[in-house]
Amino acid sequence: MNFANLANSMYWLHRTNRLAVLAFLLGTGQLFAQTDVTPVLPLDSVLSRIDQGNPLLKPYGSRAAAARAYAEAARSWDAPMVGLGTFMMPYPGQRVEARDRGNIMIAAEQSIPNRAKQRATQLYQQSKAAIEEAARDVTLNQLRSEARQLYYDWLVLEKQRAILGENQRILQLAKKLADIRYPYQQGSLGSIYKAEGRLQELANSLTMNVATITLKQIGLNTLMNRPKTEAFRPDTTARPVEPAPALPTTDELGEVRSDIRRIDRQILSMQAGIEAQRAQAKPDFRVSFNHMSPVSGVMPQAFTAMGMISIPIVPWASRGYKAEIKGMQYDIEAMRAERAGMLNDAQGMVARTLTDIQNLKAQLGNYETRIIPALRRNYDTQLIGYEQNKGDLPVVIDAWETLNMTQMDYLTRLQDYYRMIVDYEKELEK
426 Cβ contact partners less than 8 Å away, ≥ 6 residues apart: 141, 142, 144, 145
Cβ atoms of 420 and 360 within 8 Å: the answer is yes
Give me the DSSP letters along 67-99.
HHHHHHHTT--PPPEEEEEEESPPPTT----GG
Give the integer Cα–Cα distance in Å for 430 and 426.
7
- Express each pLDDT in 204-237 by its tens digit: 989 999 999 999 999 999 999 999 999 999 998 9
207, 210, 215, 218 alpha-carbon torsion, rounded to 10°:
-140
Give the integer Cα–Cα distance in Å for 400 and 174.
11
Cβ-count burial 386-403 (b if 16+ within 10 Å, e if not): bbeeebbbbebbebbeeb
43 Cβ contact partners less than 8 Å away, ≥ 6 residues apart: 147, 148, 151, 234, 235, 238
> Please, is 262 exposed, middle or buried when counting C-beta atoms within 10 Å of its C-beta (0-12, 13-18, 19+)?
buried
112 Cβ contact partners less than 8 Å away, ≥ 6 residues apart: 77, 284, 285, 286, 287
- H or E element that contains 309: strand 302-309
pLDDT for 152: 96
Among 42-51, 142-151, 219-228, 240-249, the range scoring the smallest mean pLDDT is: 240-249
- For residue 110, report the phi and psi dihedrals to the nearest 5 degrees: -140, 130
- Express each pLDDT in 346-401 by its tens digit: 999 999 999 999 999 999 999 999 999 999 999 888 878 877 777 677 788 888 88
Give the integer Cα–Cα distance in Å for 8 and 180.
9
Does the pLDDT of residue 33 top 60, yes or no? no
CA atoms within 13 A on the CB side of 202: 24
CA atoms within 13 A on the CB side of 293: 5
Cβ atoms of 103 and 90 within 8 Å: the answer is no
- Starting from the edge strand earliest in sequence, which strands make up the sheet with 103-112, in order? 81-87, 103-112, 285-294, 302-309
Q: What is the mean pLDDT of residues 35-59?
A: 89
Average pLDDT value for the chain: 85
Give the integer Cα–Cα distance in Å for 176 and 192.
9
Q: Among residues 267, 403, 240, 426, which one has the least CA distance to residue 349?
A: 426
Among 109-113, 206-210, 341-345, 396-400, the range scoring the smallest mean pLDDT is: 396-400
Give the integer Cα–Cα distance in Å for 430 and 416.
19
Pairing of strands 285-294, 302-309: antiparallel
Q: Read off the pLDDT band of 331 (50, 70, 90).
A: very high
CA atoms within 13 A on the CB side of 281: 13
Angle at 315 between CA 314 and CA 321, to 5 degrees: 95
- Express each pLDDT in 287-309 by its tens digit: 999 999 988 877 889 999 999 99
pLDDT for 108: 96
Q: What own/partner pairs with CB < 8 Å and gap ≥ 24 does 352-359 have? A: 353/420, 353/423, 353/424, 353/427, 354/243, 354/245, 354/247, 354/424, 356/416, 356/420, 357/242, 357/243, 357/417, 357/420, 357/421, 357/424, 358/245
Q: Read off the pLDDT band of 184 (50, 70, 90).
A: low
